[in-house]
């Protein structure tokens, strides 16, 4: 069919099943006729009424398509005369196929750390991902209310630039919280609010270390920190971890001149062991004598299920060597993106400078909401309530694993944290089991992937925090089927 103008409709059909709106299909068709030269400059277009009739769409859709073409200059309207293809279209505007360069070789960390591919998994809702948490209705409600209050009171002082360390009221609230719960010794002035743990680690690297510096990392350890160190040109020295945590003597033997150690003392990632008091003192003595920094990643400390709360390493430090890194992305929700570093005085100026240069200051509305959430007791109440749920979820997972898998796995309920490690007793590959588990709808991260030089143990990292009990029970059965297939 041809209208009284140059718009060619033969062989062209609207796709009514498509997600692309009808007006946009019309617009795209006319635009492509123009840019391909099928309609030449000055050619007359039908009235929107005729065009709507000829194409079978509503008049409103035809008008919307024309308006878009007019706004972008493909067509022009002359009062009383109609609508025409624009005269001043440049020649050769037809979009050409983009010539893509050959794919870039993967960057070093991507090549060395296939676990980074799993970042894509972070949004996966299925059990037993390790990056999820739960918030009950009361906490969600309080968070909403306080966000609205922060927005309502949004005063000019909160719209401008402010202290790169974060709002004083938030730093005071955090200082009181960590002094009470983690025996951290600090003044609010030493607290620098960040976008989470990895941001704090990035600032440590920029402010206090230089490319080529050797640094100790736990083996096995947190792959994301390891990748960040490599990406910044540092040289990670993997130090083995045993039942007492990092083997300090081994670090002193193999890399005595390291400039820093990155460590998870209260809940070692991924094994879950706690750094013993003897090792803590040994580590602090080495840092004091060598002038190295200790970066204490205290990511899971809010959730302890048995025994007394564990004091932080920072609280034992009398030589200003420990940079304590805390996060609220675990205690509350990962999408929050708020953490903090507690920085000893000698490092504070450089640390604040590097924070300022990479991300000038934390966002004000989130800070206002979080300040009220902590200061008005919601954080402490949330942790008290949710700790009970996490303990039940942990028990459901351990019970299910023992029931379904018996001797195949060895699993101890962890006293702390949001995940557990189920060690595999047989010789099969945990990487392959993880692939099969995923096919069965279950996420299980293979433990062997977190090792560097130490002989890898086989096991599965299973997060229990993000999944209510009723999701855990059937998911364990699926995991057992996946393991059974090997
Ligand atoms: C060892 C360790 N540290 C810190 C974090 C939290 O990182 P962030 O605060 O950047 O969300 C995680 C998250 O999984 C972790 O496993």
Per-residue pLDDT tens digits for 215-268: 999 999 998 999 899 989 999 999 999 999 999 999 999 999 999 999 999 999
Find out whether the beta carbon of 270 lies less than 6 Å from any atom of ligand 1: no
Of 197, 245, 273, 366, best ligand 1 pocket probe by most atoms within 8 Å of the beta carbon: 197
CA of 442 to the centre of ligand 1 (A): 21
Find out whether the beta carbon of 198 lies less than 6 Å from any atom of ligand 1: yes
Q: Which of 77-86, 197-206, 477-486 has the largest mean confidence? A: 197-206
The answer, as to whether pTM is greater than 0.75, is yes
Residue 81 pLDDT level (bands cut at 50, 70, 90): confident
* DSSP one-letter code for 310: P
Measured from the Cβ of residue 368, the count of other Cβ atoms closer than 10 Å reads: 22
Classified by CATH at the fold level, domain 1-99 comes out as Arc Repressor Mutant, subunit A (1.10.10)
* DSSP one-letter code for 46: P
CA of 412 to the centre of ligand 1 (A): 22
Measuring from atom 13 of ligand 1, which residue has the nearest CA?
A: 131
Q: Which of 356, 284, 354, 294 is nearest to 324 (CA)?
A: 294
209 CB contacts (<8 Å, ≥6 apart)?
Answer: 215, 232, 234, 259, 260, 293
CA of 225 to the centre of ligand 1 (A): 9
Identical fold between 135-377 and 381-484: no
CA of 297 to the centre of ligand 1 (A): 8
Residue 200 Cα: closest atom of ligand 1: 10
Measuring from atom 14 of ligand 1, which residue has the nearest CA?
A: 131
Per-residue pLDDT tens digits for 5-42: 557 777 778 888 888 999 999 999 999 888 888 888 89
Contact (Cβ atoms closer than 8 angstroms) between residue 420 and residue 464: yes
Contact (Cβ atoms closer than 8 angstroms) between residue 476 and residue 441: no
Phi, psi of 111 (to 5 degrees): -75, -40
Peptide bond into 270 cis (omega under 30): yes
CA of 477 to the centre of ligand 1 (A): 28
- The CATH-assigned architecture of domain 381-484 is Alpha-Beta Complex (3.90)
Per-residue pLDDT tens digits for 388-416: 999 999 999 999 999 999 889 999 999 99
Find out whether the beta carbon of 269 lies less than 6 Å from any atom of ligand 1: yes
- Residue that is written with structure tokens 């999944």 in the block: 467
Sheet with 419-424, edge to edge strand ranges: 409-410, 419-424, 459-463, 445-446
Q: How far apart are CA 45 and CA 31, in angstroms?
A: 12
Classified by CATH at the fold level, domain 135-377 comes out as 3.40.640
* Burial annotation 247-284 (CB, 10 A radius, 16+ → b, else e): bbebbbebbeebbbbbbbbbbbbbbbbbbeeebbebbb
CA of 41 to the centre of ligand 1 (A): 59
Measured from the Cβ of residue 95, the count of other Cβ atoms closer than 10 Å reads: 9
CA of 228 to the centre of ligand 1 (A): 13
Query: Mapping DSSP to helix (H, G, I), strand (E, B) and coil, where does residue 319 land?
Result: coil
Beta-bridge partner residues of 216? 237, 261
Radius of gyration from C-alpha coordinates of the chain: 29
Per domain, the residue ranges of the chain are: 1-99, 135-377, 381-484
């Amino acid at each position: 069919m041809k209208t009284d103008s140059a718009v060619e409709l033969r062989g062209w059909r609207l796709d009514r099943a498509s997600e692309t709106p009808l007006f946009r299909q019309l617009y795209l068709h006319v635009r492509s006729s123009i840019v391909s030269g099928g309609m030449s400059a000055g050619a007359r277009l039908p009235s929107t009424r005729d065009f709507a009739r000829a194409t079978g769409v509503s008049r409103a859709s035809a008008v919307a398509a024309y308006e878009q073409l007019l706004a972008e200059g493909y067509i022009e309207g002359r009062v009383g005369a109609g609508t025409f293809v624009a005269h001043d279209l440049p020649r050769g505007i037809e979009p050409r196929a983009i010539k893509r360069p050959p794919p870039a070789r993967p960057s070093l960390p991507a090549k060395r750390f296939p676990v980074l591919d799993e970042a894509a998994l972070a949004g996966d809702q299925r059990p037993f991902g390790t990056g999820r948490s739960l918030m009950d209705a009361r906490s969600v409600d309080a968070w909403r209310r306080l966000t609205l209050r922060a927005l309502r009171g949004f005063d000019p002082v909160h719209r401008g630039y402010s202290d790169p360390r974060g709002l004083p009221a938030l730093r005071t609230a955090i200082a009181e919280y960590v002094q009470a719960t983690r025996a951290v010794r600090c003044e609010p002035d030493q607290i620098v609010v960040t976008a989470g743990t990895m941001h704090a680690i990035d600032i440590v690297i920029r402010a206090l270390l230089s490319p080529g510096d050797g640094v100790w990392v736990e083996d096995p350890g947190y792959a994301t920190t390891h990748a960040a160190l490599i990406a910044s040109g540092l040289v990670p020295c993997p130090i083995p971890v045993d039942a007492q945590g990092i083997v300090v003597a081994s670090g002193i033997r193999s890399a005595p001149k390291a400039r820093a150690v990155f460590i998870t003392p209260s809940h070692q990632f991924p094994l879950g062991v706690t750094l013993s008091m003897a090792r803590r003192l040994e580590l602090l003595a080495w840092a004091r004598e060598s002038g190295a920094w200790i970066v204490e990643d205290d990511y899971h400390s809010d959730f302890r299920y048995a025994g007394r709360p564990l004091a932080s390493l920072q609280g034992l430090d009398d030589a200003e060597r420990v940079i304590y890194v805390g996060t609220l992305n675990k205690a509350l929700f990962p999408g929050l993106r708020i953490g903090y570093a507690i920085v000893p005085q000698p490092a504070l100026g450089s640390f604040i400078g590097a924070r300022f240069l990479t991300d000038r200051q934390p966002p004000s509305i989130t800070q206002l909401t979080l300040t009220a959430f902590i200061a008005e007791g919601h954080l402490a109440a949330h942790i008290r309530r949710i700790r009970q749920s996490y303990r039940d979820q942990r028990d459901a997972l351990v019970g299910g694993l023992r029931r379904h898998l018996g001797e195949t796995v060895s699993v101890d309920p962890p006293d702390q944290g949001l995940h557990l490690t189920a060690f595999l007793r047989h010789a099969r590959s945990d990487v392959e089991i993880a692939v099969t588990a995923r096919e069965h709808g279950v996420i299980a991260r293979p433990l062997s992937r977190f090792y560097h030089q130490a002989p890898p143990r086989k096991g599965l990292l299973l997060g229990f925090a993000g999944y209510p009990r009723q999701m855990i029970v059937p998911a364990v059965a699926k995991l057992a089927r996946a393991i059974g297939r090997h």
